[in-house]
Amino acid sequence: MKIEGQAALVTGGGSGLGEAVARELARQGARVAIIDVNADNAQRVAGEIGGIGLAADITDSASLAAVLDGAEAAHGTARIVMNIAGIGSARRVVGKDGSPAPLEDFERVIRVNLIGTYNVVRLTAARIAKLQPLEDGERGVMLMTASVAAYDGQVGQEAYSASKGGIVSMTLPLARDLAQHGIRVCTVAPGLFETPLMRQLPEAVQQSLAASIPFPPRLGRPDEFAALAAHIVTNVHLNGETIRLDGALRMAPR
């Protein structure tokens, strides 16, 4: 699919990897709608790239449907859907005081990362399925964001790894399910990237993490994630696959 002239949605587009993807799609000529729980961030980025910024919680179906209506009114139905919104979490199953981890913490991460992603997929896919097909019978393409934690999660990452593992596991069945509508689905599993969350860590910790990456021995750049996301859009034969983007990193237990 050619990016130029297409309507695109980017969840989590107000910062980090999502912001980089929104900027790259806009650079290549897409009409970009940014959906983010942080309205100020969404509108800031949208204003800088000539798109629109909309605030929504991806786990809230009514809120999400409303912003999809708004994006559609402004740009038309989006054929490009980038699911990047998500949250992190780290908590040991048994705390230092011997108490079990709160179930609510586990449920929240699963709800945002896994259920929220599926919610975006189901609501946007129903709209894309009504569009006329493009070349090769394609109607749309969706990207989901997992993590290397889906494969080698560290101590305390049970909730995060489970949520990202769920995204990896549903990539192929989603691609098979939506094939009848001409909608492709791929997932990217990033490793350690320069993001606002990463920059909150002490510099020494960031350097140590970067040194653990075989090659290149540095943190990934958001523009590298964005470049892969854009390539997935343009390469029609990429479907049903999860791609690790990690510099050959395999995470240690802790």
CB-based contact 215:247 (threshold 8 Å):
yes
CA–CA separation, 104 and 176 (whole Å):
33
Residues contacting 104, CB < 8 A, separation 6+? none
Annotated active-site residue 118? The verdict is no
Q: Pairing state of beta strands 242-245 and 183-190? A: parallel
Given the residues 106, 118, 160, 225, select the one marked as catalytic.
160
CB-based contact 191:246 (threshold 8 Å):
yes
Nearest to 9 by CA among 60, 59, 65: 65
- At 251, give phi and psi (nearest 5°): -70, 140
Nearest to 163 by CA among 110, 85, 90, 104: 110
Tokens of 242: 């999860």
Among all residues, which ones are annotated catalytic? Answer: 160
